[in-house]
Amino acid sequence: MSNLELLQKAEADFDEKKAAEAKKAYEKLPETPYRGLLPDHGEIQVTIAANGTDQGIFYESEGTISLPVEVLPEQYEAVMKEFGEAEICVNERTGETAVMKISENTDHGDCTLVYDSGLELGYYLSYDPYPGTYSLWANSADTLFKPVYEGSIYVLKGAEKGWSGYFQLPPEERFLEDGGWRKMDFTGEDSGESETYSGNVPAFDEKGYLRGLYYYGD
* Residue-level pLDDT, tens digit, the chain, 218 residues: 444 554 455 555 656 777 777 789 899 999 999 999 999 888 999 999 998 899 999 999 999 999 999 999 999 999 999 999 999 999 999 999 999 999 998 888 999 999 999 999 999 999 999 889 999 999 766 899 999 999 999 999 989 887 765 555 565 655 554 444 578 888 876 655 568 999 999 999 999 999 999 888 65
Q: What's the pLDDT score for residue 189?
A: 63
Distance (Å, whole) CA 203 – CA 214: 8
Q: What are the DSSP calls for 112-134, one per residue?
A: EEE-TTS-EEEEEEEEETTTTEE
The pLDDT, as a whole number, for residue 2 is: 47
> What are the tens digits of pLDDT across the range 72-83?
999 999 999 999
Helix (H) or strand (E) holding 87: strand 86-91
> Do the beta carbons of residue 140 and residue 154 sit within 8 Å?
no
Question: Which of helix, strand or coil describes residue 210?
Answer: strand
pLDDT at 178 (0 to 100) = 46
Number of residues written out for the chain: 218
DSSP 190: B
Question: What are residue 36's phi and psi, to 5 degrees?
Answer: -70, -10
